[in-house]
Amino acid sequence: MPSDAADPRTGQSWTVDVAGQAIDLPIVAIKPDFAISLMMVIDLGVRFGAHVGQALAERLAPTKPEIVVGAATLGIPVAIEVTRALGLDDYVILQKSPKLHLANALEQRISSITSKGEQRLLLDRAALPLLAGKRVAVVDDVVASGSSLRGSLELVRRAGAEVVGIGVILTEAKDWQETLGPDRDLVHGLAHIPQFTKAADDRWKPIPGT
Q: Which residues bind ligand ADE (CB under 6 A)?
A: 36-39, 113-114, 141-142, 144, 172
Residue 45 beta carbon to ligand ADE: minimum distance, rounded to whole angstroms: 16
**Closer residue to ligand ADE in complex, CB, 38/106:** 38
**Closer residue to ligand ADE in complex, CB, 119/159:** 119
Number of residue whose CB is nearest ligand ADE? 144
**Closer residue to ligand ADE in complex, CB, 43/185:** 43
Residue 68 beta carbon to ligand ADE: minimum distance, rounded to whole angstroms: 19
Residue 39 beta carbon to ligand ADE: minimum distance, rounded to whole angstroms: 4
Residue 2 beta carbon to ligand ADE: minimum distance, rounded to whole angstroms: 27
The three-state DSSP-derived secondary structure of the chain is: CCCCCCCCEEEEEEEEEECCEEEEEEEEEEECCEEEECCCHHHCHHHHHHHHHHHHHHHHHHHCCCEEEEECCCHHHHHHHHHHHCCCCCEEEEECCCCHHHCCCEEEEEECCCCCCEEEEEECHHHHHHHCCCEEEEEEEEECCCHHHHHHHHHHHHCCCEEEEEEEEEEECCHHHHHHHHHHHHEEEEEEECEEEECCCCCEEECCCC
Residue 37 beta carbon to ligand ADE: minimum distance, rounded to whole angstroms: 6
